[in-house]
Amino acid sequence: MHERSSRFRVYRVVEAVGHINLFDTDGTRLYTTYQSGYGERQPAVDALETGDLIEGTVAGDPEDSDEAWSLREFERIGGVDMGFATDVELPEIARETWASGGGGEPAHSVIEEDGIPVGECWVQPRAPLPGGSFVPSVLAGLLPMEERLTTVESADAPTTDAVFLDPDPVDATTFSEPYGVVLLFTEDGAETRRRYRERYDCSRGVDSRPDYDPYELTRGP
C-alpha cells in the first residue's frame, strides 16, 4: 500500500460514475478514488464538489491500474465554483478568440468590466482530448489547467469561477466547432460573471454538471 500526501483538485465526474478523480497539483497525476465506504467520514466526502481544492492523503496500489485509491484524511482549503453548459451557442468573444488565435493552440482574450480586467475567455482545441469531447474531459479531470484555475493572469487575481461551454451535446460523435470554451472570473467581476452564468443557466453554487452515463456512451446502442 502506497500513500501520497499532496494538494488535490476535486473532479466528481458525473452522478453515474461511482468514483471521484483527484488531480495532484504538485505531482500532476490524476488519482481515481472511491466515492463511498468511508464510514463516519462519508458526509465530508459527499460534501466535496467539482472544483474544490483539498489537502489530504490518498492510499492505494500504484501497480494496480484497475483498483481505485482511498481518500484518507483531508481538509478543504479553497476551490473554484465551476459551471457547465453543453449544446449551447458560444459567446462572440470565444469565436473572435479562436479566429485570432490561429486555431491550433489554446488561446485567450481578456474579459473586462468597466475597463478593468476581471476574467479571461480561453478556447481549447478538441484535438488532444479523448474522443474530442470537451466538457466530459473537463469533468473527469483529463484537461490539465491547474495554473488557470489558480490565477487569472490578466487580472493578477485568484480565479474564483470557471464556466465551461461546449457547443455540442455530451454524446456528440461529430462536432460543430473544433474547440470548447472556458470563461474564468475573479471575485471583482461580479456583474459580468452573473451575466454569463445567467445566460448559460449555471448559477453559482448550483450543480450544473450534465446528467449522462459515460458507460452507456462507451457501450453504444
Taking only the tens place, the pLDDT of each residue in 142-201 is 998 999 999 999 999 999 999 999 999 998 989 999 999 999 999 998 999 999 999 999
In the prediction, which pLDDT does 220 show?
45
Cα–Cα distances in angstroms (integers) from residue 93 to residues 29, 53, 55, 97, 176, in the given order:
32, 29, 35, 6, 17
For residue 218, pLDDT beyond 60: no
Regarding whether 130 and 96 lie in a shared domain, the answer is yes
* Residues 195-213: tens digit of each pLDDT: 999 999 999 999 999 887 7
Task: Tell whether 125 is covered by a domain.
Answer: yes
For residue 217, pLDDT beyond 50: no
Which residue range forms the structural domain that includes residue 101? 82-199
For 4, what's the count of Cα atoms within 13 Å in the CB-facing half-sphere? 21
Cβ density class 153-182: b for 16+ within 10 Å, e for less: ebbebebbbbbbbbbbebebeebebebbbb
Regarding whether 100 and 151 lie in a shared domain, the answer is yes
Regarding whether 161 and 67 lie in a shared domain, the answer is no
Q: Which of 30, 48, 79 is the last residue of a domain?
A: 79
Regarding whether 73 and 91 lie in a shared domain, the answer is no
Task: Tell whether 90 is covered by a domain.
Answer: yes
For residue 219, pLDDT beyond 70: no
Task: Tell whether 36 is covered by a domain.
Answer: yes
Burial of 106 (0-12, 13-18, 19+ CB in 10 A): middle
| Secondary structure string (H, E, C) spanning 47-74 | CCCCCEEEEEEEEECCCCCCCCEEEEEE
What percent of the residues of the chain are helix, what percent strand, and what percent coil, each to the nearest 5?
20, 35, 40
Number of domains in the chain: 2
In the prediction, which pLDDT does 215 show?
58
Single pTM value for the model: 0.93
Regarding whether 99 and 69 lie in a shared domain, the answer is no
* Residues 54-70: tens digit of each pLDDT: 999 999 998 888 889 99
Q: Which of 79, 105, 132 is the last residue of a domain?
A: 79
For residue 119, pLDDT beyond 70: yes
Task: Tell whether 113 is covered by a domain.
Answer: yes
Regarding whether 103 and 190 lie in a shared domain, the answer is yes
The CATH number that applies at residue 70 is 2.40.50.140
Nearest to 29 by CA among 9, 2, 49: 9
Regarding whether 23 and 69 lie in a shared domain, the answer is yes
Task: Tell whether 215 is covered by a domain.
Answer: no
Nearest to 185 by CA among 114, 93, 117: 117
Residues 151, 108: contact at Cβ < 8 Å? no
